[in-house]
Every structure is written in structure tokens, then in C-alpha cells.
Amino acid sequence: MFEVLSAVLFDYTVRNIALGSAILGVAGGVLGCFAVLRRQSLLGDALAHATLPGICVVFMLTQTRVSLWLLLGAGLSAWLGALAILAVVRGTRIKQDAALGIVLSVFFGAGVVLLTLIQQTGAAGQSGIDRFLFGQAASLIRSDVITMGALAGAALLVVGVFYKEFKLLTFDGPFAASLGFPVRALDVLLTSLIVVAVIVGIQAVGVILMAAMLITPAAAARQWTDRLPAMILISALFGAGSGVAGALVSALGPNLPTGPLIVLIATGVFLLSLLFGASRGLLWSQLRERRNRAAALSGGGA
Amino acid sequence: MKPVLKPGRERAAVVAPDATPLEVRGLTAAYREKPVLWDVSFHVPEGQLVGIIGPNGAGKTTLLKVVMGLMQPAAGRVRVFGQSFQKARRYVGYVPQRGSVDWDFPTDALDVVQMGLYGKLGWFRRPGKKERRVAEECLEKVGMGAFAHRQISQLSGGQQQRVFLARALAQDARLYLMDEPFAGVDYTTERAIVGLLRELKAQGRTVVAVHHDLGTAAEYFDRIVILNRHLIAEGPVGRALTRENLEAAYGGSGAFIGDR
């Protein structure tokens, strides 16, 4: 067992995979905090699904395997999805949840149709385009990791620069607007950064499960702290940890899919946080409640 | 002096000291095709406490939104200290409805109050020691000094309302727009807010507050604006807050209003 583990840890390919998964975990973890706090968890899901037609179209046009181009297509397509959601919400009486559902299914449906077309041409074998469905961290090469790192780094930099503004927008948008901050532009910027986090992750986790890497680490981190900076940090750590752990476990055995493993590990972290989280874990609040009740019954306390 | 980027301050104006804090003329606003405000005109003199009352759906919140440019009017115009709101916003403080935000947000009372200083700080600059001190003073003024580091979801409704007021105080404005500051607060908070309003008045500041409790309107405010989509009446409490006007606004017998 130990030899397997050390072989895995010092293997060049595995290090690539682990590094890539860590990067996706950090990007998803940080941007996911804002998505979750703004109650836009499902926006991430819709945008992730909306990347698929973009990937397919870029591949059909160029036959490229370079992930940068495929990811640009993915980003553009997710962006169009975001615009479509906005247009539906603003232009009709349809509410946000229905708009998200419509965009998610229409874009994903179109993506699957294109994917089938690609597979019929027989190019799919070499293209590996279907890896974007469930993710295939094992296929990550050095240049992929560099692309992911650059995208994630840029996104995190922007979050750092606009941290105060994003926090205000997330907590109290109308107040931010009354102070003169251009909330619509900030909203577009934050949504675009979520798109970036999504395209950083889809190679390893896949478009179907990517939303989990936005939602789960952030929701888990919330159980441990009542401060936004700490929540962001913990969420990034949980995301990175789940990414690395998932990548390593999948490297241990043949045919263990990385993406789903990463998501399962992140979910495990979330469940543990829900139970034992220091700030609002179920265990502590149960204990507190019991203690309070005992104090009240014995006539103590106040 | 280092130039600081300020949001919405590019065309900020210096206003005349005697300019009318708020003037609304012929204002009509609608959500889609549904009109909410019809041809509403009134003005607010400096140093007055003004209550906006009217039944649910009368357009009170909409009026505040239009005044602050958060919503575009279909017709009419708003002047704040003789300027457009965009040019005068640094003189305006805003207290939204308490229920308009998620109090489960991971932050503490002091941090929320510091948000009142973000407009002055401008883009990118983070609050420092000075902002922290101002925020602490504002929390003291609303009797919340001991709760600076309390997670905001652990505050009572009244305490949350006082945090919002402290945030507005941090804005150091000349005109305060408040949306239902007395809604669902406990007695202590109600007294604290009343004291605060009088203090603001004593400093020559102007407050326009949406209010829902007809029983206290005459006690708390100098002037009243009665709305029900149309302007029903406006003016000093003694003149505007009459039984006839209230019946016109609320309909029915108005028996619940009591003899006033």
C-alpha cells in the first residue's frame, strides 16, 4: 500500500493531476462562496452545463485538442447562457429558477446533440471530447495545468481587488447602488468570474458535476466560521483538499473516475462539517440546546 | 492629495447650504404596465422629520427607490438638494428594510456599519483604523457598542435595525431615507430610534421615513406625506394627518385609526 502511495505521489503524471485538481478546488471554493451567499448556487450548475455546446462547436470547427481553445469556447458558451438567463428574467414574467432550468437543459441538450454528431464522425476516439461530460483528470497534461492555473490566478486576483465591493454587493445590493457602486456591472463581473471557475474545473470534474465544486466546499466552510474571509479561506482549502484527495484515490486504481471521486470526497467533507462544524455544526448546537434546557430546568442561567 | 476613485462621484456637486433636501415633482412610476405612483409631487424642507404613510402597495418603497435612482420613473423628476440624486448622493444616507437582506451573512455588526463608509472610501480602498473608530462610535450612538463583534444573525430584530441605523449614521448624511425603520422592533429599539431621529433633527438633518403605524405618526414626525398611489395629502402633521385624509388613503371607515 505504502509503495503504491509513494509511487503515486512522486509520479509526474499524478502530480499534474493533483495540482490541476487542487487549482480547480481553490477556484471553485473561492467563487463558490459568493455564489452560495448570493443564493445563486444553481447559476453555477446552469453555467457549467451551458459550457458543453461551446466545447463541441470549437472542436467541430478546429479539430483542436488544445484545451485553451476548448475552454475559451466553453467560457463563451456559458456567457451566452448567462445572458440568456438575464434576458428571460428581465424580458418575461418567468422567474429566475425556471430561467436557470430552461437555459441549463436547452444548452446541455444542444451540447449532447453536438457531442453525438462528433462521435458519429469517428473523431471522438482521438478527440476525447466526451471527457468533458464527467471529467477526466487523468488526461490533464502540463499545459492544461498551466492554463488552469493562469485562469484561476487571474480570477482570484480580481476577487482580491474587488473584495470589498463584492462583499457589499452580496450582502446588500440596493445599498451598494445607493452609494453609487455600479451594481449591474459588478454583478456581471462576479458572474463572469464564476464562469472562469467553471471552465477551470470542467476538464477534471466535468460539466455535469462541476456545480458541486462551487457549492459543496462553500457550504461546508460556512459551518466552521461566521466571517467571510475565513469562510473563503476554508472553502478554498476544502476544495483543494477534495481535489487532491480525489485525484490521488483515482490514481490508485484503474477505472476510478476522478471527477465523481472529487465530488464524493467534497460531499464527505460537507457532511462532516454539517455535523461537527465549529460555528453551526449540528453536534454543537444539540449540545448547547441540551445544556440550555438543563440550565433552564434547574432554575439556573439568568 | 492622492486622487481617490469614488463610485458615482465623477460628477459630484457641491450643494447650496439652503437647498431643499428633497423635491418630487409629477412623479409617475410603474412596474411593467402596473402603475404604482401617479403624478406625485411634494417637497421636504430642511431639518424636518417626515413620515410617509399609506396602505400596503401604496408605493411608499417605490417612491424611495425612484428617489435614489434604483428605479426609473415613467415621468416626473426628483431633485435632491437641487441636484439629480446621482450628483447629490454623498449627502444622502439610506436605511433599507431590515428584511431586504440575509442576516445569515457571515459577518459582524461592526463590519456592517463600516459598509456605510464604503462610498467615501471609494473603489479598492479597505476600511482601516479610522473607519473602525467611526463605526464603533456609530454603534455606541444606537446603544449597540457591546455588540460590535456579534455575528449579525445572533442579533434580535430590533438590534439588527439599530445596526442598519448605525450604518446610515456612518454615512454622515444631510438627508436620510429610511424604509420602515420601526417595523417589527421592540420597545427599547423604538425609543432608541425616536431619540436618534430627534438628535438628527437637532443637528439640522432631514429624515424621510416610510412609516406604517398611524398611532405614532403624529408623535414621531413633523410632516406627513400620505400616499395611496396618488398623493392624498402632505404637510405639517396637524394639517395633513386628518381623519378625512386617512379615510381617503385607507378607505373604509378608518375606525381602526382611532379618534385623532
B122 reaches A (C-beta below 8 A) = no
> Which stretch of DSSP H or E encloses residue A55?
helix A51-62
A180 to chain B: closest CA residue: B8
Report phi then psi at B173, rounded to 5.
-95, 170
pLDDT, residue B258, reads 45
Which residues of chain A lie closer than 8 angstroms to B124, CB-CB? 161-162, 164
Q: B107 pLDDT exceeds 70?
A: yes
How do residues A267-278 score in pLDDT, each as one tens digit? 999 999 999 887
Rounded to two decimals, the ipTM of the complex is 0.89
pLDDT tens for A98-114 read 999 999 999 999 999 99
Rounded to a whole number of angstroms, the CA Rg of chain A reads 21
8 Å CB contact of A37 and B112: no
User: What integer is the mean pLDDT of A234-259?
Assistant: 88
B49-66 in b/e burial notation, b at 16+ Cβ within 10 A? bbbbbbbeebbbbbbbbb
At residue A190, does pLDDT exceed 80? yes
Interval B200-204 mean pLDDT: 93
DSSP H stretches of helix in B91-232: 109-114, 118-121, 129-141, 157-170, 187-202, 214-220
Average pLDDT over residues A165-194: 94
Q: How far is A295 from chain B (nearest CA, A)?
A: 20
- Judging contacts by C-beta atoms under 8 Å, the chain A residues touching residue B151 are 226
Q: Is A40 on the interface with B (CB under 8 A)?
A: no
Given a cut of 90, is residue A225 above it in pLDDT? yes
Q: What's chain B's length in residues?
A: 260
d(CA A66, CA A55): 11
CB contact under 8 A, A164 and B151: no
Asked if B118's CB is within 8 angstroms of A176's CB, the reply is yes
Region A129-133 average pLDDT = 84
For A58-107, the pLDDT digits (tens) are: 999 988 878 889 999 999 999 999 999 989 988 888 888 999 999 999 99
Question: Does residue A164 carry a pLDDT above 50?
Answer: yes
Q: Distance between CA atoms of B200 and B205, rounded to whole angstroms?
A: 5
- Does residue B15 contact residue B91 with C-beta atoms inside 8 Å? yes
Separation of alpha carbons A142 and A129, rounded Å: 18
Contacts of A171 in chain B (CB under 8 A): 101-102, 105, 107, 112, 115
B14–chain A nearest CA distance, Å: 16
pLDDT at A241 (0 to 100): 96
Q: What is the pLDDT of residue B2?
A: 47
- H or E element at residue B44: strand B34-44
**Residue B5 pLDDT level (bands cut at 50, 70, 90):** low
Fold of the domain spanning A2-289: ABC transporter involved in vitamin B12 uptake, BtuC (1.10.3470)
Lookup: cell for B234: 402632505
Q: What is the pTM for the complete model shown?
A: 0.89
Write the single-letter amino acid at B156.
Answer: S
CA-CA distance, B232 to B248, in Å (whole number)?
A: 7
**Residues making up chain A, counted from first to last:** 302
Q: What distance in Å separates the CA atoms of residue A264 and residue A212, rounded to the nearest whole number?
A: 9
Q: Give B7's contacts in chain A (Cβ within 8 Å).
A: 179-182
Does A172 contact chain B (CB < 8 Å)? yes
User: Would you identify the CATH topology of the domain B46-55+90-225+233-251?
Assistant: Rossmann fold (3.40.50)
What are the φ/ψ torsions at residue A187 (nearest 5 degrees)? -60, -45
